[in-house]
Structure 1
């Protein structure tokens, strides 16, 4: 009895996948651009309050977090290169290093947020009500925008973790690195957003 084997090639649209990621990044940039405009308007209307409120943030912590994210962007970019060189071990090391950098960032942010909440610098607190509307606006935007950024980091961590698992199982190789590339693009978006958040909240005192 003759049997026929039908082999179906997996359909992949790498260019479409990358285009979709670029479109997603564009929409995210529009979202944060709107928030940056809101911040600029409120800062223009409350310059003194924003100036004094920004002095409550630690420039050192913000600088450390900036360096951490820049390093993580470098490691995930190198991971995209190493997977194409068929170096699985180095790819995994670089991806895990990116995850470690993300964890350090979130730990730093947790302690920073905790410190501000402990001292009463959070929206709807009695401390901010006594300081005035400008301070309330500043810290409201601070927690919302940095919180939204932190949410993006968590999403990035999930994506990179999936990539690590797939690389370790050899289901993501030099022949199909698009998921790693797209995860890298997303992570660069996270880095870019922080590059704008850092001077707005920490340096413009």
Structure 2
């Protein structure tokens, strides 16, 4: 979206590289952005740094109130979606059922926030859309692998329309990990969880 050139380095999280440990010694996880020799960690922090550093094609709204709301919803999705999705992938039985309940409540809440807008911020992709990719990309793959129907057009028509618009946006479409890689990644995790 910003048109910033970058080098992408794949990281094996089961065998963390010295480079990752050097640039994120606190959490020892990805993502890490290295800019001018200085590391920036944590997805939300990285997105805001990119937006502040490269001013064109803003990710955050220009008005203070709208920016605060975008930060609120981004944090909400980051904190409320990731834990139940992780539980959903790694758990079985009743724990998985509890995670499904949490995910359904999250989906209702964010669909309500989306309303009739094309993207969470209106007509253009913004911070909330980028953070919500955990629903629009990752959850879709997980539910397909498990044969579940959590996020369907019947239950969540606005979110499904948002997903279609989001994944088909030129900037997103060109940068989404290939579906087969996502399936391979989650198949391995789901297989490990069932052992």
**Structure 1 length normalisation: TM-score?**
0.37
| Higher relative helix content | 1
Higher relative contact order (CA 8 A, sep 6+): 1
**Structure 2 length normalisation: TM-score?**
0.39
